[in-house]
């Protein structure tokens, strides 16, 4: 894909009573079929529903899925709040979106940070989940020996983001969130998307993610699950992703020869694996 920004389903602001206003994309199969499985796409850290899933909407709807994707708190056009970022709040936000859209049950599809959000949607709202697809993610992101260091660094960055003047925050955001993208058409568009993020919320999200540990309960997952693992992932260790698949009873594992950012840099490989995983899970959901 060489054209950016790509064609995307039209998004809209959605008010979640008592929570705030988020941003949602809702795409359906072209034939207008109503009684089809719904995928709830949950993006990764520093991304949004556009950047994480731009290559996926058309193939997934063509395969017969309804696709709902939202921007998480502080990311893209997601909820803005003084409340600290919490993964559990993101899970609750996602279910609140389902309530507004009148959707009863979904397959949450989580990528990287979206993986813990998907896991928490199952844990906190089990009656709304009929399957899980977990991509480039794990059940634990924390490194016990590094907890104190990570907590101290992230806490200091979060405090700085709260107290520094807006021009300084803008410069920090450019350096932390934007400068990593190159000058290709994709990189230029990704920089535009990264500038939508709220710096303090994104830093808080990193802190929260570093503390996440579902290993004590992930083995209780009782819905069809597939794990999509980039075998050259440099961000979430493939061994941890494989352990996630091993921990969930009956989970399938789909391996992709790619790095952590495969959704953007190797979309054809990722989409192929994602379609396989979603079809696999959907076929195992009792109808």
Which residue segments constitute the domains of the chain, with CATH numbers given?
11-143+215-284 (3.40.50.1820)
Adjacency order of strands within the sheet including 11-16: 11-16, 20-27, 66-70, 38-42, 107-111, 132-135, 225-230, 252-256
Contact 106, 68 (CB under 8 A): yes
When pLDDT is averaged across residues 92-109 and rounded to a whole number, the result is 98
Tokens of 112: 């990287």
Cβ burial of 8 (10 Å; 0-12, 13-18, 19+) is middle
Radius of gyration of the chain (CA): 18
* Average pLDDT along the chain: 89
Give the pLDDT band (50/70/90) at residue 110: very high
Cβ atoms of 81 and 93 within 8 Å: the answer is no
Q: How far apart are CA 2 and CA 19, in angstroms?
A: 37
Q: pLDDT digit string (tens) for 142-163?
A: 665 434 433 443 444 444 445 4
> If residue 243 lies in a helix (H) or strand (E), which one and from where to where?
helix 238-247
Q: Mention every residue, 6+ apart, whose C-beta is less than 8 A from residue 29.
A: 36, 61, 62, 64, 65, 66
| 3-class secondary-structure state, position 211 | coil
Looking at the predicted structure, is the pLDDT value of residue 46 above 80? yes
How many CA atoms within 13 Å lie on the side-chain side of 237?
Answer: 8
Please tell me the least confidently modeled range out of 35-39, 164-168, 176-180. 164-168
Give Cβ neighbours of residue 165 (< 8 Å, ≥ 6 apart): none
């Amino acid at each position: 894909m060489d054209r950016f920004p790509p064609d995307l389903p039209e998004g809209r602001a959605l008010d979640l009573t008592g929570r705030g206003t988020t941003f949602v994309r809702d795409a359906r199969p072209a034939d207008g079929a109503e009684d089809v499985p719904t995928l709830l796409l949950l993006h990764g850290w520093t991304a949004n529903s556009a950047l994480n899933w731009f290559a996926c909407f058309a193939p997934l709807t063509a395969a017969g899925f309804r696709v709902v994707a939202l921007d998480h708190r502080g990311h893209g056009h997601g909820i803005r709040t003084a409340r600290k970022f919490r993964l559990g709040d993101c899970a609750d936000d996602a279910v609140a979106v389902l309530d507004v859209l009148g959707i009863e049950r979904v397959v949450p599809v989580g990528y990287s940070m979206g993986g813990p959000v998907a896991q928490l949607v199952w844990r906190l709202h089990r009656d709304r989940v009929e399957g899980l697809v977990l991509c480039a993610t794990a059940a634990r992101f924390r490194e016990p020996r590094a907890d104190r260091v990570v907590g101290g660094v992230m806490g200091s960055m979060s405090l700085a983001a709260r107290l520094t003047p807006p021009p300084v925050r803008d410069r920090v955001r450019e350096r932390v969130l934007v400068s990593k993208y190159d000058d290709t058409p994709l990189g230029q568009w990704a920089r535009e998307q990264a500038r939508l993020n709220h710096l303090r919320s994104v830093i808080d999200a990193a802190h929260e993610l570093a503390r996440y540990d579902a290993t004590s309960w992930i083995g209780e997952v009782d819905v069809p699950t597939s794990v999509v693992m980039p075998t050259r992932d440099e961000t979430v260790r493939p061994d941890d992703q494989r352990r996630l698949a091993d921990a969930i009873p009956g989970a399938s594992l789909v391996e992709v020869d790619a790095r952590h950012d495969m959704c953007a840099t190797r979309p054809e490989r990722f989409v192929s694996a994602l379609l396989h995983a979603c079809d696999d899970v959907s076929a195992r959901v009792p109808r």
